[in-house]
């Protein structure tokens, strides 16, 4: 007797979507488990966790070094940075005495390394010599610095103040605070459009994204884009036209066209979606499900969840070397 096992069309499609992407994927996917103090290393072929690397306490965000030889994990509560090989997932070194590195970013000219101290209310500007960071200036800011953006000319750092509802601008050359404006409730991530003329700010305490014109230097409010409750983190789709924003409370992701600042698509994203990554071919969204200890994979074309991968507690940052362009 021959037995047939029923397999849904969705499951078959998910298999081909993930398998097809994995064929072009050579490097691991990293997920930061903030409450475990670890990094999950995920194999993009089997979509399983292959290793869990201890870091410091509360790793939240990560960033690639300018030479692309290391991905830096910022351990906020341990005041340290963990350098990991983005191709082999081997720990290279740990740098201590970096105070409260919650968020981090390099300037496009590769001369500056900037961190936001979420619990200590300051932003640190470091000179970067290619290997090491040397503190140039510590700048007191508003309450609870959250996320950073540096303009393409490497002249201005833009930073959101989560608990004082502000956006501040810092001149990189003089290391001085040059602007401060009020914004909406609980601003989190900030994203600059490719033309350098606008900033988008996710309002975690509200239901949308605020747009500011920065073409003349001083930010000027343009509009609020209604997305969903808990608008939080951005990730460019890679086509220089669209950016994604995760709506942590609503359990959705909105796709924004930043040529006209309108929502043009929406994706389901369960259990507190936070940071995102987009595959190099632009077909897959990887998003951390903060409340479920999962990495969720979303098929962009079908706007559907195709898989979830078990990770650690309170997954936050997600990153892979094989990603879509950042604009």
Q: Is the pLDDT of residue 114 over 80?
A: yes
Instruction: Read off the pLDDT of residues 40-83 as tens digits, 9 standing for 90 and up.
Output: 999 999 999 999 999 999 999 999 999 999 999 999 999 999 99
Strand, helix or coil for residue 10:
helix
For the chain, what percent of residues have pLDDT higher than 70?
92
Angle at 173 between CA 168 and CA 174, to 5 degrees: 70
pLDDT at 26: 87
Instruction: Read off the pLDDT of residues 181-220 as tens digits, 9 standing for 90 and up.
Output: 999 999 999 999 999 999 999 999 999 999 999 999 899 9
pLDDT at 3: 38
193: Cβ–Cβ under 8 A, 6 or more apart, which residues?
199, 200, 258
Average pLDDT over residues 272-289: 97
pLDDT at 217: 87
**Burial class, 263, CB count within 10 angstroms (exposed 0-12 / middle 13-18 / buried 19+):** middle
Superfamily of domain 9-197+219-228+289-320: YVTN repeat-like/Quinoprotein amine dehydrogenase (2.130.10.10)
pLDDT at 18: 64
In the chain, domain spans: 9-197+219-228+289-320, 198-218+229-269
What's this model's pTM, rounded to 2 decimal places? Answer: 0.92
Instruction: Read off the pLDDT of residues 124-182 as tens digits, 9 standing for 90 and up.
Output: 999 999 999 999 999 999 999 999 999 999 999 999 999 999 999 999 999 999 999 99
Q: Where are the alpha helices (DSSP H) in 125-186?
A: none
């Amino acid at each position: 007797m021959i037995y047939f096992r029923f397999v849904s069309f969705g499951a078959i499609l998910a298999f081909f979507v993930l398998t097809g992407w994995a064929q072009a994927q050579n490097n691991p996917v990293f997920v930061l488990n903030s409450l475990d103090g670890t990094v999950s290393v995920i194999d993009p072929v089997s979509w399983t966790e292959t290793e869990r690397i201890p870091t410091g306490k509360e790793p939240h965000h990560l960033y690639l070094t300018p030479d692309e030889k290391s991905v830096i994990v910022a351990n906020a509560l341990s005041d340290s940075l963990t350098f990991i090989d983005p191709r082999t997932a081997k720990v290279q070194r740990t740098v201590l005495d970096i105070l409260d590195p919650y968020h981090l970013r390099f300037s496009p000219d590769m001369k500056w390394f900037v961190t936001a101290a979420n619990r200590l209310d300051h932003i640190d500007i470091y000179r970067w010599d290619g290997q090491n960071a040397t503190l140039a200036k510590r700048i007191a800011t508003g309450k609870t610095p959250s996320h950073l953006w540096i303009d393409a000319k490497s002249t201005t750092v833009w930073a959101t103040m989560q608990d004082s509802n502000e956006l501040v601008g810092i001149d990189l050359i003089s290391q001085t605070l040059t602007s401060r404006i009020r914004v909406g409730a609980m601003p989190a991530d900030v994203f600059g459009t490719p033309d350098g003329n606008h900033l988008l700010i996710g309002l975690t305490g509200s239901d949308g994204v605020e747009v500011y014109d920065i073409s003349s230097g001083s930010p000027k409010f343009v509009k609020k884009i209604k997305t969903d409750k808990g608008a939080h983190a951005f990730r460019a789709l890679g086509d220089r036209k669209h950016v994604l924003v995760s709506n942590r409370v609503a359990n959705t992701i909105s796709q924004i066209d930043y040529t006209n600042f309108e929502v043009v698509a929406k994706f389901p994203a369960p259990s507190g979606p936070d940071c995102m990554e987009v595959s190099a071919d632009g077909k897959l969204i990887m998003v951390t499900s903060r409340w479920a200890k999962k990495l969720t994979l979303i098929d962009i074309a079908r706007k559907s969840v195709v898989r979830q991968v078990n990770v650690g507690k309170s997954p936050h940052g997600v990153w892979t070397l094989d990603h879509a362009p950042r604009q």
